[in-house]
Structure 1
Amino acid sequence: MRAFPVAALLCFVFASMARAEDPVQTAQALIQAQIGAFLHNDAAAAYSFAAPGIKALFPDKDSFFAMVKKTYQPVYHPGNYAFGKSRAIDNGAVVYQELMITGTDGKDWTAIYQITRQPDGSYKINGVQILRNTTSEGI
């Protein structure tokens, strides 16, 4: 009779591990962590989530942070945000994640993140497109 509870426990553990490796969940956790870094004005942490291509354009954390403050204000300091639609392609090599944002000024925005899997298996933010919007446009 003890085999059933152990089997149920193992199923739960394996299901949890599978969810933890889900590219969409990983992408969402990455986005949340970067927004947290922005909200705490932690340029080094925010920069650590950027993909190599972004780092090539902005070779240090200060130039990256200045660009985000100037160009991506709703992402830099969102009022409220929620995840919208997502799509993983190439077996999770690339994830597109929509983020619905209400800025601190009350305006609504849609940010579409491109998250890419790196050669070491980690994920990094490879780009963000931000649109003044009030409804989901889909990916």
Structure 2
Amino acid sequence: MLPAAGALAVIAGLGALHASAEDATGPAVRAAVHAVIARQIEAFRHDDGPAAFALASPHIQALFGSADGFMAMVRHAYQPVYRPQSVTFGPIGSEHGQVTQDVDLIGQDGRSARAHYTMEREKDGSWRIDGCALTLGNDVGT
């Protein structure tokens, strides 16, 4: 059995853990994550490769090496994200210690898609996009 002081420390620690888990997907984080994703989609709409690439995590930037390589991949594999007709932010969550954000899209071809973003918090407190899994068609939203 823990002494009273030890029990209070454990309870306080659990409270802090619960609060940090809530904060991880709370309103301030949600607003910051939405802003980053929206800015990147807007950069894609304007073919502003440097701006879009700047919002990718250092890991993603290292994978593609340049804004041109990154934009070529997005144009080829992520058309609904590159040129959406509509964008609707869905649930924010957490997976494997990373914040995730679902975004429902309608692409230029009229097909539905869901982009499942994985976000990364940088040392300076800013958010960057660390990955995006795209699901196309009828299975979106299920």
Paired residue for 2:126, among 101, 122, 125?
122
Aligned residues: 117
The offset of 1:133, in angstroms, is 3.6
Question: In the TM superposition, what is the alpha-carbon distance from 1:121 to its structure 2 partner?
Answer: 1.2
| Distance of 2:33 and 2:51 partners within structure 1 | 16
Structure 2 counterpart of 1:111, from 108, 115, 122: 115
CA RMSD between the two structures: 2.0
Structure 2 alignment gaps of length 5 or more: 1-22
SS at match of 2:30: helix
Residue 24 in structure 1 maps to residue 19 in structure 2: no
1-structure distance, mates of 2:124, 2:102: 25
Which residue of structure 1 lines up, in the alignment, with residue 141 of structure 2? 136
Distance change in 2, residues 1:73/1:59 (3 Å): same
Structure 2 CA distance, aligned partners of 1:117 and 1:80? 26
Q: Unmatched 5+ residue regions in structure 1? A: 1-17
Task: Answer yes or no: is 1:46 the counterpart of 2:52.
Answer: yes
TM-score, normalised to structure 2's length?
0.76
Indicate the larger mover: 115-124 or 29-38. Answer: 115-124
Give runs of ≥4 in structure 1 deviating > 4 Å: none
Q: Percent identity?
A: 37
Q: Deviations over 1:71-98 (max 9, x none)?
A: 11100000111001111479xx732100
TM-score, normalised to structure 1, is 0.77
Secondary structure (helix, strand or coil) at the match of 1:47 reads helix
Instruction: Tell me the equivalent position of 2:20.
Output: none
Q: Which residue of the other structure, out of 79, 87, 101, is the alignment partner of 1:97?
A: 101
Structure of larger gyration radius: 2
Partner of 1:75: 81
Please say if residues 23 and 88 of structure 1, whose CA atoms lie closer than 8 Å, have aligned partners that are also in contact: no
Give, as a single letter, the amino acid of the residue that structure 1 aligns with 2:114. T
